[in-house]
Amino acid sequence: MAEDPHALFEHWFAEARAAEPNDAEAGALASADAEGRPSVRMVLLKGHDARGFVFYTNQESRKGRELAANPWAALLFHWKSLRRQVRIEGAVTPVSADEADAYFASRSRDSRIGAWASDQSRPLAAREMFEERYRKLVEAYDGEDVPRPPHWSGYRVAPERIEFWSDRPHRLHERRLFVPDGDGGWSESLLYP
């Protein structure tokens, strides 16, 4: 055992990108508000390395407000076609402005304008209002670069636990848990299914 969990994740993720019909990078992100009330939603993984797992969002959204109040989260990647899942738990920190700028610039122009148009997670009286706001922003940015909104950035979940789950017959699943060993490496153990 004692494999590098980040290398194992990359191996499983590569297999998921080849096998999953849609959005292998989609994961469920669970957060909680200051009172501990949880919520969960899907996000897209936009990067991962030894520092953690990165996703982007509107920082004024419900998840952004929850992460500001309680900077801990859990991610779950479930790849049904492979009969595998990965659970990640840890502290959450914002990515650097340079990282956020670079990722934002890589998005399609329409997605960049959409980030300005959406008051994510807030009430919307009518869909037409959102579409009109978007249309006006398309006109306003005609021929110009679309900068990153100040309220839009990324977050990194720095894992304190990474669990790899593999389906096995008769519900005799395999669960491999990795936790930091205190010396810059990882300790691996098995869990009962």
Spatial CB neighbours of 88, under 8 Å, sequence gap ≥ 6: 53, 74, 75, 76, 77, 157, 159, 161, 162, 163
CA dihedral angle for residue 138, residue 139, residue 145, residue 150, rounded to 10 degrees:
-60
Indicate the DSSP class of residue 149.
Answer: P
Is 171 catalytic? The answer is: yes
C-alpha 97/C-alpha 161 separation (Å) is: 27
C-alpha 124/C-alpha 51 separation (Å) is: 37
- From the candidates 156, 171, 175, 176, which is the catalytic residue? 171
146 and 112 in contact (C-beta within 8 Å)? Answer: yes
Q: Which residues are catalytic?
A: 171
